[in-house]
Every structure is written in C-alpha cells, then in structure tokens.
C-alpha cells in the first residue's frame, strides 16, 4: 500500500475544500486534498453562479447578508477572471407585496449593502427584456461567478505552492488511534490502487456528504438535504441579475452566466439516502419556467438547454425546519471539543459566496492546533489568472497574432494565465468547441496543468460541451486530443467519450421536447449511427 505523510488532510474538493487547501498552503502547512470525483463536481458546481451582494438574505438573515457583501468585495479583487460584475435588480411584480420593497431597502442599509431605488423606466433601460409591468426596482451589487473556474484557480495556486490533490479517490475509512483521527485510507479509482494518508489534522469539508464522513469518525452531525433545481436557457436572455423582490421562493431569480442564463431555484427536502440519486422533477421545471416568464416574458418559449440540481449543505439543528428557513450561516465544529475526537474538524453550512471565509475560519483552527502563527492572506493575494487586470484584446493579439474573436474566451476564462496558453502556432488556436470558443491550446494547457482525468473534468476547466450543442460537435475532437497529447490511450478515450455523452444526457433528459429533442436525435445519429460508439467494447484501455 502506498503511504503519504502530511500535516493536514482535507476531504472534499468543492470550493470550501479547495479554499482551505490554498489557505493552509499559503501559511506553510503541508496539506493534501482528497476528492471522490472531480473538483467542484458536487454542490459547488451545481448552483446558479450568483455573486451575492447579500441582499437576498438581508431581510431574514443579517449575518449571512453581511458576510456576503464583505466576500463580494474581496472576490472582485482576488478572483477577477472568475467574476462578471453584472450588477443586480430586485423588481416588484403586480402580484408581489409592495411593502417588501421598503423592508429590503432598509435591511440592505443596515447590512452595509449598497442599494438604491430605480424608476421602472431606468430599470427597463438597464435590462430591456424585463417584464414591463414591474412596479418598482432596486439596484444592488450582485454579479456572477464561475464556480468551476474558482475552485480550479484555488487548487492551481495550492499545487504551485506545494499542496497536493488526489481526485477520483474514495475515502474508505478514517484511521483512528485511541480517540483521535490520524489519517485516511483511500482507493484511487483511476489507478485501481489503495493508499493511505496520515496527518495531524483531518478536515471534513465534504458538504452534505460530511454526515457520512463524520460517521466514519464515529461522531454524528446531521445534515438537512435540501435539493435545489435550475434550468439553463441556451443564450443570455438578460445581462444583469434579475431577482424577484419578495421573500425568497422558487423561480425568483434569473442569472446570466457566460453564454447562457439560469433560472433558479427550487427547494425540496429529500432523504439523506437520496443525495447520490438526484433528479429534476417535472413540476420543478414547470414552476421555474412559469415564474421565470413573470420576470422576463416569453422565457418559456426559448429553448431550454438542460436542467440540473444540487443539494444545499445545511446543518439540521432542530430537525423540523424547512430548507429556506435554515440559516445559510457557517458551522465550524471542533470534534475534539464537541465529541472528544481529536484531530478532526468539520466545516459545513454557508454558501459558495462565503467559501473563502469558511476556509479562513477552518485554517485558523488548524493553525492554532498545529501552533502555526502565520495569518490568513487569501483576502489579499490574487488567484492565478487575476494577478493583474485583464489585458485589452489588442495586447493579446500583439503577442499571439490571433484574432480577438478566438482569444477572447480564453482570456475571459484564464485571465493572466493566457500567456501560458496562447502562442503563434496555428495548431494552438484551432477551434475544438465553437459554442464556447475553446481552442486546442487551451485543452493542452488544461490536460497538462489543471488535474484533468477525463472529458467531464475538461468541461469544468474549459466549458467544452456546455454550449447549445451540448458536446455534439466537440466531444469527439476533445477525445482525440487526449490521445494526441498522451493523456489517454485510444480505448480509454472512447470510454471517456461515452461517459461524457452520458453525463450530458442526464441534464438533457428532463427537458426533452421541441428543439432539444431534435438536437438529441441528431447527436444520436452522429455517435451511434455514424461512429457506432455504443458498439465499441470498453476493454482495458491504455493502448
């Protein structure tokens, strides 16, 4: 059995786990992260990507609201290439309680959130697709943030500073000596081997799966699984975040992100044993489209690209509270104090917006236990790609000779790291994904630097396959590049291709009507009718 020794072990590769790895590494603490799938493959990658101003929580959850606006300001500085500063609107519709408008303004002022009233004419000038019947509007500093890019940047910074990450690895058990946790026993599904990591502290940052990890340590921490579903529209129907000015409910926000818009979100209590078998229900899609239509008319007549859902990592304290009524507050548990189990910490609750703060709180506790005095610096050190303001397109074209129509998306996704990706070699900027303008050079960079194991991982680093064709015209090209760049054998590439198309199918299946049905049939004709992909035996790859 392979053996690794370190100081801190983090379980969970979502934003909080990745952020904790970065924070600890910056403090000089030797750290290792374990993730059962890929980074940002759980709840982190299954939200609407809202860069909260805190206004959404201001009326009912002041603590979360103040945390959000503080982190909003920090992320706009340290994660520029992950953020789009769209701004946000809260609009009152004719059927909404008009008194909530005043409550929201007052609460935002109390929480320190910049918010000011707009006339309906001003709101419609900012977002022309808005419902023209709105009664009032408030502008807030909302924005959007790419969770995949954010988690990847945190991991990249950590590994460049000596941190280590193991993805697609299952935690089989926790190693205990007496009453203390001393490490983890893992299984690497890619390499097909067991290995063991020992350390002084184990951090449980597994989100809603943290209940299971606590069980392995012999302690109890009950989670409240609250499923949230969303639908993606195949183009940007709005350029500013649009919120319904009312108590948070289903279908009351539309978030523009990259090339699409996302309508969110529902809230359904599910049993803990269902968290691995998440599906979007028909009634959820109906609610999201119907309520989205009220904010932006005719949205239900656009093409729905896919539907997806995630589980909010909320801690259930009373066991009798509905999902939206549980605070989004942060829960940090020192199991030595609470359960007499040494060397074990759980970080839970919160939200994507507060991942850095959660990581800081966790790293503070780890540093205290390890007697490390170095303070947190993640609030002031930019993430890789955000070291400087994004360069103008003219400067990028000057050193690459490549048209801005091709390089723009690469610059947008990777910021300053574009210098490590784009060259004057024509092969480097050959387009692999036309929908998202992903080049061969960007894929090569991801395969060699961003811990990519398969095409699904590659999607999270580059957005390949996330456009209107959902991988129909780019996934086989990507599979070919895995072979060309010696990241996989031919047989393994075929398996990856099948797995990627199956993964895309999961989100398409719930909305299979109209144009989506026709597009799916075309995809089937290509991959089964033309390529015969389903008839290729899997074999053992590596050849």
pLDDT digits 0-9 by tens, 228-244: 999 999 989 999 999 99
Average pLDDT, stretch 434-457? 94
Residues 200 and 249 grouped into a single domain: no
Helix ranges restricted to H, 209-265: 210-216
| 414 assigned to some structural domain | no
Q: Which of 154-163, 269-278, 405-414 has the lowest mean pLDDT?
A: 405-414
Residue 291: pLDDT band (50, 70, 90) is very high
| 28 assigned to some structural domain | yes
For the chain, what is the mean pLDDT?
Answer: 92
Give the Cα-Cα-Cα angle 301, 306, 310 (nearest 5 degrees): 125
What is the dihedral sign for C-alpha 413, 414, 419, 423? negative
pLDDT digits (tens, 9 = 90+) for 186-199: 999 999 999 999 99
| Model pLDDT, residue 543 | 35
**Domain end marker among 337, 352, 370:** 370
pLDDT over 90 for what percent of the chain? 80
pLDDT digits (tens, 9 = 90+) for 5-34: 999 999 999 999 999 999 999 999 999 999
| Model pLDDT, residue 300 | 79
Residue 393: pLDDT band (50, 70, 90) is low
Q: Please report, to the nearest 10 degrees, the dihedral formed by the alpha carbons of residues 414, 418, 420, 424 taken in order.
A: 150
What is the dihedral sign for C-alpha 290, 51, 417, 37? negative
Q: Are 155 and 40 in contact, with CB atoms under 8 Å apart?
A: no
Residue with tokens 């050079």: 441
Residues 287 and 357 grouped into a single domain: no
Instruction: Count Cβ neighbours within 10 Å for each residue of 176-190 and write b for 16 or more, e otherwise.
Output: beeebbbbbbbebee
Q: Are 54 and 186 in contact, with CB atoms under 8 Å apart?
A: no
Residues 210 and 333 grouped into a single domain: yes
Strands 201-204 and 193-198: unpaired
Average pLDDT, stretch 425-429? 78
Residues 457 and 514 grouped into a single domain: yes
Question: Residues 6 or more apart from 468 whose CB is under 8 A from it?
Answer: 234, 235, 303, 305, 435, 519
Burial class (CB in 10 A: 0-12, 13-18, 19+), 502: exposed
| 375 assigned to some structural domain | no
Is the pLDDT at 429 greater than 90? The verdict is no
User: Which range of residues forms the domain containing residue 202?
Assistant: 2-43+148-222+328-370
When divided into structural domains, the chain yields a total of 3
Is the pLDDT at 400 greater than 70? The verdict is no
Residue with tokens 């009524």: 325
| Model pLDDT, residue 422 | 79
Residues 164 and 184 grouped into a single domain: yes
Q: Are 79 and 383 in contact, with CB atoms under 8 Å apart?
A: yes
First to last CA, the chain: 26
Is the pLDDT at 540 greater than 60? The verdict is no
CA 357 – CA 54 distance, rounded (Å)? 14
Strands 83-84 and 143-145: antiparallel
Is the pLDDT at 319 greater than 50? The verdict is no
Residue 97: pLDDT band (50, 70, 90) is very high
| 94 assigned to some structural domain | yes
Residues 465 and 528 grouped into a single domain: yes
Burial class (CB in 10 A: 0-12, 13-18, 19+), 134: buried
| Phi/psi of residue 373, nearest 5 degrees | -95, -10
Residues 252 and 211 grouped into a single domain: no
DSSP run (H or E) holding 285: helix 282-295
CA 486 – CA 484 distance, rounded (Å)? 5
Residue 138: pLDDT band (50, 70, 90) is very high
Residues 347 and 289 grouped into a single domain: no
Residues 116 and 211 grouped into a single domain: no
Q: Which of 59-68, 269-278, 355-364, 408-417 has the lowest mean pLDDT?
A: 408-417
**Domain end marker among 337, 353, 370:** 370
Burial class (CB in 10 A: 0-12, 13-18, 19+), 8: buried
Strand partners, 116: 139
| 321 assigned to some structural domain | no
Q: Which of 44-58, 127-141, 412-426, 495-509 has the lowest mean pLDDT?
A: 412-426
CA distances in angstroms from 2 to 21, 169, 202, 389, listed in the order given: 22, 13, 19, 43
Tokens of 268: 């359904």
Average pLDDT, stretch 427-443? 90
| 460 assigned to some structural domain | yes
Please report, for the chain, how many H helices and E strands are present, in that order. 16, 24
Strand partners, 140: 88
Is the pLDDT at 336 greater than 50? The verdict is yes
Query: Which candidate, 327, 362, 312, 371, places its Cα nearest to that of 17?
Result: 362
Average pLDDT, stretch 396-414? 73
SS (H, E, C) 334-354: EHHHHHCCECEEEEEECCHHH
| Phi/psi of residue 199, nearest 5 degrees | -160, 175
- CATH code at position 39: 3.50.50.60
Residue 444: pLDDT band (50, 70, 90) is very high
| Phi/psi of residue 456, nearest 5 degrees | -65, -45
pLDDT digits (tens, 9 = 90+) for 339-355: 999 999 999 988 899 99
Give percent helix, percent strand, percent coil of the chain, each to the nearest 5.
40, 20, 35
Residues 356 and 489 grouped into a single domain: no
Q: Please report, to the nearest 10 degrees, the dihedral formed by the alpha carbons of residues 426, 429, 432, 437 taken in order.
A: -150
CA 24 – CA 83 distance, rounded (Å)? 24
Residues 507 and 456 grouped into a single domain: yes
DSSP state of 175: E
Residue with tokens 């009950």: 222
| 410 assigned to some structural domain | no
- CATH code at position 296: 3.30.9.10
Residues 26 and 38 grouped into a single domain: yes
Gyration radius of the chain's alpha carbons: 23
| Model pLDDT, residue 478 | 97
Q: Are 184 and 203 in contact, with CB atoms under 8 Å apart?
A: no
| 85 assigned to some structural domain | yes
Q: Are 268 and 227 in contact, with CB atoms under 8 Å apart?
A: yes
Residue 419: pLDDT band (50, 70, 90) is confident
């Amino acid at each position: 059995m392979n053996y690794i020794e370190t100081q801190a072990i983090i379980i969970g590769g979502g934003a909080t786990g990745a952020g904790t790895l970065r924070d600890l590494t910056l403090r000089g603490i030797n750290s290792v992260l374990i993730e059962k799938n890929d980074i940002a493959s759980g709840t982190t990658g299954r939200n609407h990507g809202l860069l909260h101003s805190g206004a959404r929580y201001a009326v009912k959850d002041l603590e979360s609201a103040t945390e959000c606006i503080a982190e909003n300001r920090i992320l706009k500085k340290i994660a520029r290439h992950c953020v789009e500063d769209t701004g946000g609107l809260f609009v009152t519709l004719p059927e909404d309680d008009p008194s909530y408008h005043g409550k929201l303004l007052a609460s935002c002022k109390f929480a320190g959130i910049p918010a000011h009233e707009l006339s309906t004419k001003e709101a419609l000038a900012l977002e022309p697709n808005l419902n023209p019947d709105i009664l009032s509007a408030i502008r807030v500093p909302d924005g959007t943030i790419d969770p995949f890019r954010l988690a990847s940047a945190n991991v990249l910074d950590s590994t460049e500073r000596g941190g280590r990450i193991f993805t697609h690895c299952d935690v089989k058990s926790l190693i205990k000596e007496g009453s203390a946790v001393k490490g983890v026993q893992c299984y690497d599904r890619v390499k097909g081997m067991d290995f063991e990591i020992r350390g002084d502290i184990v951090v449980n940052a597994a989100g809603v799966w943290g209940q299971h990890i606590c069980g392995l340590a012999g302690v109890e921490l009950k989670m409240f699984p609250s499923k949230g579903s969303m639908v993606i529209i195949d183009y940007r129907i709005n350029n500013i975040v649009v919120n319904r000015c009312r108590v948070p409910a289903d279908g009351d926000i539309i978030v523009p992100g990259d090339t699409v818009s996302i309508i969110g979100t529902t809230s359904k209590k599910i049993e803990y044993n269902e968290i691995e078998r998440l599906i979007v229900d028909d009634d959820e899609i109906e609610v999201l489209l119907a309520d989205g239509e009220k904010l932006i008319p005719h949205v239900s007549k656009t093409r729905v690209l896919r539907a997806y859902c995630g589980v909010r990592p909320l801690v259930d304290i009373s066991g009798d509270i509905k999902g939206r009524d549980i605070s989004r507050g942060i829960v940090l548990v020192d199991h030595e104090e609470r359960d007499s189990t040494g060397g074990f910490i759980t970080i839970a609750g919160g939200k994507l917006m507060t991942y850095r703060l959660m990581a800081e709180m966790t790293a503070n506790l780890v540093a205290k236990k390890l007697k490390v005095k170095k303070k947190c610096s993640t609030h002031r050190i930019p993430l890789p790609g955000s070291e400087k303001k994004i360069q103008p397109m003219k400067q990028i074209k000057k050193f690459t000779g490549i048209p801005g129509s091709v390089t723009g998306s690469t610059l947008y996704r990777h910021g300053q790291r574009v210098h490590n990706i784009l060259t004057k070699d024509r092969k480097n900027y050959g387009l692999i994904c036309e929908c998202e303008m992903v080049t061969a050079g960007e894929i090569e960079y991801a395969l060699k630097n961003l811990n990519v194991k398969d095409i699904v991982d590659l999607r999270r680093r580059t957005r390949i396959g996330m456009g209107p064709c959902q991988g129909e015209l780019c996934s086989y090209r990507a599979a070919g590049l895995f072979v060309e760049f010696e990241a996989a054998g031919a047989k393994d590439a075929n398996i990856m291709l099948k797995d990627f198309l199956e993964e895309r199918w999961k989100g398409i299946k719930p909305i299979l009507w109209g144009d989506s049905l026709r597009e799916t049939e075309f995809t089937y004709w290509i991959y089964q009718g033309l390529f015969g992909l389903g008839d290729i035996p899997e074999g053992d790859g590596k050849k």
